[in-house]
A and B are shown apart, each in its own frame.
Chain A
């Protein structure tokens, strides 16, 4: 089998696909790419099924030597990708010769870059997915972030493949947002109007401790009716939970599956990929929208992902 050798692992690089869904009854969250839109596009650029496993890099990328020829694509945030020290374009299929090295550096834009390889990264699936679940050390490559010297195999090449690029218009439309749209959460009615006002009229900063489990925000404390008792319940991806400190936490891909803090809002599905590109100290704002609007935004996004105009050859 073809393989890549990790020469520089980067700050935090893991194997990710679109995650494992349906294991709530045994307490396992879906995990999966933090920016699934970028992973899906990267896979399609190399002729993979959109859910194939790729590498997710965080803030600082790594260097990967190819033992055999391959076709790759680099998507997500701009980590200044290069091939044997010559800069290469993102969002396009690139042919790699045997012995060449792909290097990504520090981020110039968002938080996460994806390296997709034709054939997909081959790891033993855990509960049907290649995604790394770091907290429990399960899935992905040995359940952990990559280290120098790791050797990762990838699947067979696709001979029917034709090179392509993401259309500039689609890239523009799918840009990660800093104004995150939210719908009401299960405890929305716990919060006096002032909490919505605080949430939607303030600027929040992404805290350093944010990770794939949760995005911690710093800003004005969100007032809550603390006299009400909360019973631990299932929590959804993108839930904005408010602990007693009033500093909100957005539950993210490697989230806990249940929680006991009130959730006043929930990030809409169409904006979840934007969360994966938030960097520490970055400023974000929230906008409250109706459930029906959230739904049409997602339908619109998926129509674009399925359209012929997404790629150009």
Chain B
């Protein structure tokens, strides 16, 4: 097994054309910021032969052209980038507000989630809409933003049987994660509400409403407001 380290970054071959760079084995703001910084640096000053970058909570998966580079070469090309992380500033995060109609037909599991934690649905809504979440990365499907910062009191196990189709815009909780489903896709998270706002806009730039590093807040809206939004 190929394992090596540079500073606090660890390298590991994930396949014959990808290298996983990990910053620790814990989801922390610090580790996530290192991922973000390395991502930004590699986007600003791309390395020839690197084809794709997949950030996550505390790792960056780097896919390269195996006909031009090997793992050792990618690793040594990364060392100067890693050395600059400490001095790399992050852009000021954007603040994005997402209106959500909680409960009812839009959030069929809101009552279950609330009951699981001994609170009323209103308390669960209050708790879910109070923190500022951080977009840790986009993954799973186009525009699906993994948000960090769900209050521990709302962490809920995934459904035993995932839904074949989760309605577009659904807001769900899966374990200690929360997110909005940008498309009608299969999914196993518990649904607590729905947003009328499009998370993925094919004809807009950027296509994603949310970008990695953004600060997100959910704002509870009524059914009527939801209908109003949907008309726009």
- Which residues does A use to contact B, with CB under 8 Å? 21-28, 30, 126, 133, 135-138, 183-186, 188-189, 231-239, 256-258, 263, 266-269, 291, 294-295, 298-299, 302
Whether B200 lies near A136 (C-beta < 8 A) is yes
Q: When chains A and B are docked, how far (Å) is the Cα of A258 from the Cα of B17?
A: 16
Stretch at the interface among B51-59, B116-124, B149-157, B218-226: B51-59
Whether A24 lies near B15 (C-beta < 8 A) is no
Whether B183 lies near A137 (C-beta < 8 A) is yes
Whether A269 lies near B142 (C-beta < 8 A) is no
Whether B67 lies near A302 (C-beta < 8 A) is yes
Q: When chains A and B are docked, how far (Å) is the Cα of A79 from the Cα of B144?
A: 37
Enumerate B179-202 residues with CB–CB distance to A below 8 Å: 182-183, 185, 200, 202
Q: When chains A and B are docked, how far (Å) is the Cα of A106 from the Cα of B219?
A: 52
Closest to A237 in B: B15
Taking a contact as CB atoms closer than 8 A, the residue among B15, B26, B70, B143 that contacts A27 in the complex is B143
Whether B55 lies near A231 (C-beta < 8 A) is no
Chain A residues near B43 (CB, 8 Å)? 25
Question: With an 8 A cutoff between CB atoms, is B20 at the interface?
Answer: yes
Closest to B16 in A: A294
Q: When chains A and B are docked, how far (Å) is the Cα of A291 from the Cα of B18?
A: 11
Tell me the smallest distance from the CB of B63 to a CB of chain A, in Å: 7
Closest to B60 in A: A234
Given contacts A236-B15, A266-B16, contact A138 B142 (CB under 8 A): yes
Taking a contact as CB atoms closer than 8 A, the residue among B16, B20, B138, B182 that contacts A298 in the complex is B16
Taking a contact as CB atoms closer than 8 A, the residue among A23, A24, A186 that contacts B20 in the complex is A186
Q: When chains A and B are docked, how far (Å) is the Cα of A238 from the Cα of B14?
A: 10
Given contacts A234-B60, A291-B71, contact A26 B13 (CB under 8 A): no
Whether A186 lies near B70 (C-beta < 8 A) is no
A-B residue pair count with CB separations less than 8 angstroms = 143
Enumerate B90-149 residues with CB–CB distance to A below 8 Å: 137-146
Given contacts A239-B14, A239-B15, A257-B54, contact A233 B140 (CB under 8 A): no
Chain A residues near B143 (CB, 8 Å)? 26-27, 136
Chain B residues near A126 (CB, 8 Å)? 202
A25, A30, A185, A188 — most chain B CB neighbours (10 Å): A25
Whether B144 lies near A27 (C-beta < 8 A) is yes
Given contacts A235-B61, A295-B66, contact A136 B142 (CB under 8 A): yes
B138, B146, B200 — most chain A CB neighbours (10 Å): B138
Closest to A23 in B: B52
Tell me the smallest distance from the CB of A111 to a CB of chain B, in Å: 21
17 pairs, CB–CB < 8 Å, chain A vs chain B: A21-B63, A26-B138, A26-B143, A26-B206, A27-B138, A27-B208, A189-B1, A231-B26, A231-B58, A232-B56, A233-B20, A234-B54, A234-B55, A257-B54, A269-B66, A294-B16, A295-B66
Given contacts A21-B52, A25-B43, A299-B67, contact A184 B1 (CB under 8 A): yes
Taking a contact as CB atoms closer than 8 A, the residue among B18, B60, B208, B212 that contacts A236 in the complex is B18
